[in-house]
Chains A and B, each alone.
Chain A
Amino acid sequence: MGGYVNVEWRASLGLIGTVMLYVSIPLTFPLLVAIYFGESVVPFVVTIVVTLGVGGGLRFVADVRDDMGPREAFLAVSIVWFLVAGIGAIPFLVGGQGTLAHPVNALFESMSGLTTTGATVLDDFSIDRSIMMWRQMLQWLGGLGILILVTAILSDLGVGGAQLMETETQTEDVNRLTPRISATARLILGLYLGLTLAVIGVLYGLHLIGLAPNMTLYNAIAHAFTSISTAGFSPEPESIAAFTPIVQWVLIPVMLVGSTSFVLIYYTIHGDPMRLLTNDEFHFYLGVFASFSAAAAILIYVFPELTLSQSATVRHAMFNVASILTTTGYASMDFTDWPHAAQNILFLAMFIGGMVGSTTCSIKSLRWLVVLKAFKRNLFTAIHPDAIRPIRVSGRPVDEETVRDIYAYVLLSIVIFFALTMFIVIDGARAGIHPSEFESMGAAASTFLNIGPAFGMAGPMDNYLGFPASTRIVMIVLMWLGRIEIIPVLVLFTYAFWRS
């Protein structure tokens, strides 16, 4: 290797090239949709050619014999996410329809899709249905994490695969279901596919028995792609408000399942539900959902800005809390019409997220649970300075290094959130837009924490076109940063990563 750089970057490139080659497979689905609806196939043909070319080229220059260590994994994870988002933008660019024809918007939409954010820059939803399906499909691909998909396919990754999954999910130990990491990834992928098919079945079933007139097979697939992946794009401009209340009721548990640890769901399906039911993080996550829903419902009911029936109040409170908490980003109504206090509940929910090991984003329940337990412990050790009290999650002790990492992660997330907020305010003022503080904070949290809609001008029935292009470019980077949990990207910018 070159004398100065201490990263086996060629190994990373080889992996990235392989991922590119595989990305051409899902591209055939919107291609088939285009053929079915008689729409232009050019955007997808072009993208497939580019993908194969880039992938082949990277494989050519790469040295596949090099080992995948932690550094190579960081590099590969960071670049793969950015590159796939770039590939994802090509159909939007080539399709050239509406606002997506602009390169910044195309990349914004693609990154927002792949990172399962769901923030859109689409103002006119009457684009080709194949392009629209690609937008939905990107979210499904990003839902579980691209590299879990890759690990599932590439059984020869071996130890490197574990490295990748850990880097991507930032979990201390990937809960291995089998001794072989690729087999574990395949089980999880199988579960993801199974759940997606089940959601398609249920949604289309509602249509067939006449309970959801506009939930066609197309819409059932499109929404299954973005609900179980807690992503949030909808081909409908009004999001889930376009559907009957029964559809909204059905999607609440779907979003919640998407935010539940897939490993624990796997055990539940295989006859061991106690692992899930006795899991502290699961209790915490459901507790947050229940209490936030109740608080939102009460606040909507108490403040008279909005007149809704009692059942509609409960439904909208539960749906939108589930949507924001799980980082999906659907909306069953325009929650920017809610009383301000109720909107604040949603804002708070943005920072929490679902369970570790699911398709959710944001800071995640486990981290908050550990932070709260650590805080409670600190209160105890203030009185008993010599007491040794390990923090336990589900009865199992968490080591102190992990606790410190979690503290640092939560703090870093909040710092980045404030920095982005400030940037949005200043950049907005520069462009003469002057977003309010709440709008800026909402948009910052919603993009960085990968939720989607925010408040005010970036509300669920609106889009992010109101922000200046420079803000949107920064948001693209932060969606990327937030989705792969900050660390893999930030370490790339340290001297130690490359040299020591």
Chain B
Amino acid sequence: MKAIIVGAGEVGTLIGRSLSQRNDVIVVDVDDHRIEEIKYELDVLTRVGDGTSGEVLEEVGVGDADLLIASTDDDKTNLVACGAAKTIGDPFTIARVRHATFKRTWDRTQRAFDVDFMVCSDLQTAETIVNVIGLPAAIDVDPFAGGLVHMAEFNVSAESPITGEVVADVDHFDSLTFAAVFRDEEMILPRGDTRIKGGDHVVVIGSPQSVQGFAQDIEPDKTPGSADDIVIVGGGEIGYHTARILEDRGFSPRLLETDERRARQLAEDLPGTLVMQHEPTDAEFLEREHVHEADILISTLDADEKNMLVSLLAKRIGTDRVISIVDHGSYVQLFEEIGIDVAINPRIVTAEEITRFTHTDVAVNVAVLENDQAEVLELEVSEGARLVGRTIRDIDRSIDADVVFGAITRDGTFIAPRGETVIEAHDHIIVLVEPSFVDQLMAMA
């Protein structure tokens, strides 16, 4: 597959890294220094130029490209790049936007601006935050098969009740598969006798209820209900969408915003949220509003240092769980090291979402785990495919790669995969697989 990426910032680079493993990738950016760096970072073709210009796009061969990803920091540039590409050829166009207004317009027809798929980074980040809140201890949550299946990655703390247990004892759920354990940045395929250690990242695939149940096993005290007190700090777009999605799910969050006019606007737009206008780093104020008793604090301010300050302050006064936005992808690890429970980088979230849609021919859905050490795919098995009629044990033996069958849905119902389960045509299978084997597996489905 031939893919063109317009914009070689963090998002474009992340996508380029993922795509270049099995596709021909061309990266276009106006910044020649950045292009120079990319040449040595990634195995891709590069071109300095304006991705919205027809000449540049023609030159890099958009006419026979399968995919164009517009991932610059500027919404309008991305939209124009998609429109320009469609005048020359017919690639599948993916645009990254920040502002939800473009996304809402696009959602009306799913074709607007000549964009075939649109990822709104603010919205995507807010959804990720809410998913992480819904499942405590989860680092990542992705729905598959229209929500019938959830994939979640959990951070198991040293104090967790399951620490020190073996997988066979912990797995008392009918419809849950332990897909992978990441320990010290290494992937382990769990077996019944694998012992879980503190600090492990455990990836499970299963029905939403069993994933929720497992989440409760990991952190029994932290399972949120509608009575839980959630505080959002920062009323930017991410803070706003987070509050809105939480409202939709029956929560009544509190939202702190410093600017008076913005606070008023938020209060008008969010009837189920208590908006407060105050400086969030004022410890006295946090005390007065009992923020230390809050179950969850989400920091969505516009600068990393502010987010870090607020998060540390909240941790210090005793807030249970602190989630923070991190603008620089390289700081994510730092944030988590100093005790912030989950650090979310909007660019990584966006890149992941876009990568999910780069396997459009067969895969419906993809989640990328731990710097692309593994991917979780949803495949629809076509009639006459090599997988049809074989048991999972049989398939496992014939494959020389790390593959875990996480879940199967058949006619809209969930099936827990076992060794003797036979794959049928039109099944949706959710599998965890190492990136280098994705194309081979897709050919089998």
Contact assessment for B267 and A389 in the assembled complex, using a CB-CB cutoff below 8 Å:
yes
Contact pick for B278, options A386, A395, A397, CB 8 Å: A386
- Please give, as numbers and ranges, the residues of chain B lying within 8 Å of A386 by CB-CB distance: 276-278, 285, 289
A302 proximal to B (CB < 8 A): no
A390 at the B interface (CB under 8 A)? yes
Q: B275 → chain A, closest Cβ, in Å?
A: 4
Give B275's nearest chain A residue, CB to CB.
A388
In the complex, chain B residues whose CB is within 8 Å of the CB of A387: 274-276
Contact of A499 with B by CB under 8 A = no
Q: Residue A384 at the B interface, CB < 8 A? A: yes
In the complex formed, the residue of A with least CB distance to B278 is A386
From B264, B276, B278, B285, give the contact of A390 (CB < 8 A): B264
Determine whether the beta carbon of A384 is less than 8 Å from that of B268. no
Nearest chain B residue, comparing its CB with the CB of A398: B268
Interface residue A392 (Cβ < 8 Å from any Cβ of B): yes
In contact, B274 and A384 (Cβ under 8 angstroms): yes
Rounded to whole angstroms, the CA-CA distance of A317 and B278 in the bound complex is 51
Binding site for A on B (CB under 8 A): 263-264, 266-268, 271, 274-278, 285, 289
Interface pair A384/B277, CB less than 8 Å apart: no
The complex places the Cα of A384 from the Cα of B267 at a distance, in Å, of 14
Q: How far is it, in angstroms, between the C-alpha of A384 and the C-alpha of B264 when the chains are bound?
A: 15
Q: List 27 A-B contacts (CB under 8 A).
A: A384-B274, A384-B276, A384-B289, A386-B276, A386-B277, A386-B278, A386-B289, A387-B274, A387-B275, A387-B276, A388-B263, A388-B266, A388-B267, A388-B275, A388-B276, A388-B277, A389-B267, A389-B274, A389-B275, A390-B264, A390-B267, A390-B268, A392-B271, A395-B271, A397-B267, A397-B268, A400-B264
Q: Considering only CB atoms, which chain A residue lies closest to B268 in the complex?
A: A397
- Number of A-B contacts defined by CB within 8 Å: 29
Output the nearest chain B residue to A397 by Cβ-Cβ distance.
B268
Q: Which of A384, A386, A388 has the most CB of B within 10 A?
A: A388
| Interface bits A341-364 vs B (CB < 8 Å: 1, else 0) | 000000000000000000000000
Alpha-carbon distance between A387 and B267 when the two chains are bound, in angstroms:
9
- Chain B residues, Cβ within 8 Å of A389: 267, 274-275
Q: Give CA–CA (A193, B431) in the complex, Å.
A: 71
In Å, the complex CA distance between A397 and B275 comes to 14
Cβ–Cβ < 8 Å partners of B277 in chain A = 386, 388
Task: Please give 6 more A-B residue pairs, beta carbons under 8 A apart, in addition to A386-B278, A388-B263.
Answer: A384-B274, A384-B289, A386-B277, A386-B285, A388-B267, A395-B271
- B271: which A residues are within 8 A, CB to CB? 392, 395
A492 to B276, CA, bound (A): 41
Assembled-state Cα–Cα distance A392/B266 (Å): 13
Query: Using a Cβ–Cβ cut-off of 8 Å, how many residues does chain A contribute to the interface with B?
Result: 10
Nearest-Cβ distance from residue A228 to partner chain B, whole angstroms: 36
Question: Which chain A residue lies CB-closest to B255?
Answer: A388
Q: Closest 7 A-B residue pairs measured CB to CB?
A: A397-B268, A388-B267, A386-B278, A386-B276, A388-B275, A388-B263, A390-B268
Min CB distance B271 to A, Å, is 7
A387 vs B275: C-alpha distance when bound (angstroms): 6
> Which chain B residues lie closer than 8 Å to A397 at the CB level?
267-268
Q: How far is the CA of A397 from the CA of B268 in the complex (A)?
A: 6
Complex: A400 Cα to B265 Cα, angstroms: 12
Complex alpha-carbon distance, A171 and B263, angstroms: 26
In whole angstroms, what is the CA distance A384 to B288 when docked? 9
Of residues A386, A390, A392, A395, which shows the largest number of chain B Cβ atoms within 10 Å of its Cβ? A386
Chain A residue numbers with a CB within 8 Å of B274 are: 384, 387, 389
Chain B residues with Cβ under 8 A from A388's Cβ?
263-264, 266-267, 275-277
B-chain residues with CB within 8 Å of residue A390 when the two chains form the complex? 264, 267-268
CB closest residue in chain A, given B256: A386
Q: Which residue on A lies nearest to B262, using beta carbons?
A: A388
- Docked CA distance A397–B274 (Å): 14
Complexed CA–CA distance, A384 and B285 (Å): 10
CA distance A397 to B267 in the complex (A): 9
Give the complex CA separation of A348 and B277 in angstroms: 39
Kindly identify, within residues 372 to 418 of chain A, every residue whose CB is under 8 Å from any CB belonging to chain B.
384, 386-390, 392, 395, 397, 400
B294 CB, min distance to chain A CBs, angstroms: 14
A400 to B260, CA, bound (A): 13
Give chain B nearest CB distance to A230 CB in angstroms. 33
> Per-position contact with B for A50-79: 1 when CB-CB < 8 Å, else 0?
000000000000000000000000000000
- Report the separation of the CA atoms of residues A387 and B276 in the bound assembly, to the nearest whole angstrom: 4
The CA-CA distance from A386 to B266 in the complex, in Å, is 14
Complex: A165 Cα to B176 Cα, angstroms? 66
Q: Nearest residue in A to B279 (C-beta to C-beta)?
A: A386
Which chain A residues lie closer than 8 Å to B275 at the CB level? 387-389
The smallest beta-carbon distance between B420 and chain A, in angstroms, is: 55
Q: Give the CA-CA distance A112 to B276 in the complex, in Å.
A: 49
Chain B nearest CB: distance from A342 CB in Å? 40
Min CB distance B104 to A, Å, is 20
CA distance A387 to B268 in the complex (A): 12
- Chain A residues closer than 8 Å to B276, beta-carbon distance: 384, 386-388
- Most chain B beta-carbon contacts within 10 A, residue among A387, A392, A397: A387
A390 and B285 CA atoms in complex are apart in Å by 21
Q: In this complex, what residue of A is CB-closest to B274? A: A387
A395 to B263, CA, bound (A): 18
Taking the closest CB of chain A, its distance from the CB of B377, in whole angstroms, is 43
- For A392, the chain B residues whose CB sits under 8 A away are 271
For residues 158 through 208 of chain A, which have their beta carbon under 8 Å from a beta carbon of chain B?
none
Q: Across the interface, which residues of A come within 8 angstroms of B264, CB to CB?
A: 388, 390, 400
* Chain A min CB distance to B342 (Å): 27
A8 to B285 alpha-carbon distance, docked (Å): 54
CA distance A419 to B271 in the complex (A): 41
Q: How far is the CB of B255 from chain A (nearest CB, A)?
A: 9
Closest to B235 in A: A388
Instruction: Using CB atoms, name the residue of chain A closest to B254.
Output: A387
Chain B hits for A384, CB < 8 A: 274, 276, 289
Tell me the smallest distance from the CB of B263 to a CB of chain A, in Å: 5
> Residue of A at shortest CB range from B285?
A386
Report the minimum CB–CB distance from A396 to chain B (whole Å): 9
Task: Indicate with 1 or 0, residue by residue over A296-329, a CB within 8 angstroms of chain B CB atoms.
Answer: 0000000000000000000000000000000000
What is the CA–CA distance of A390 and B274 in the complex, to the nearest angstrom? 10
Shortest CB-to-CB span from B13 to chain A, Å, is 40
Task: With CB as the reference atom, state the residue of chain A lying closest to B276.
Answer: A386
Q: Closest chain B residue to A396 by CB distance?
A: B268
Expressed in whole angstroms, the Cα–Cα distance for A386 and B274 within the complex equals 10
Q: Closest Cβ of chain B: how far from A119's Cβ, in Å? A: 43
A395 to B285, CA, bound (A): 29
Q: How far is the CA of A390 from the CA of B261 in the complex (A)?
A: 12
**Bound-state Cα–Cα, A389 to B267, Å:** 6
Shortest C-beta distance, B279 to chain A (Å), equals: 10
| Chain A residues positioned under 8 Å from B267 (CB to CB) | 388-390, 397
Chain B proximity of A366: nearest CB distance (Å): 18
B298 to chain A minimum Cβ distance, whole angstroms, is 18
A106–B423 Cα distance when bound, in Å, is: 96
* Alpha-carbon gap, A388 to B267, bound state (A): 6
With the chains together, A9 CA to B267 CA distance in Å?
Answer: 43
A400 proximity list for chain B (CB < 8 A): 264
Q: Report Cα–Cα, A129/B264, bound state, in Å.
A: 59
**How far, in Å, is B276 (CB) from chain A's closest CB?**
4
Name B263's closest neighbour in chain A (CB-CB).
A388
**Which residues of A are found within 8 Å of B266, using beta-carbon distances?**
388
> What's the minimum C-beta distance from A380 to chain B, rounded to whole angstroms?
9
In the assembled complex, how far is the CB of residue A382 from the closest CB belonging to chain B, in whole angstroms? Answer: 13
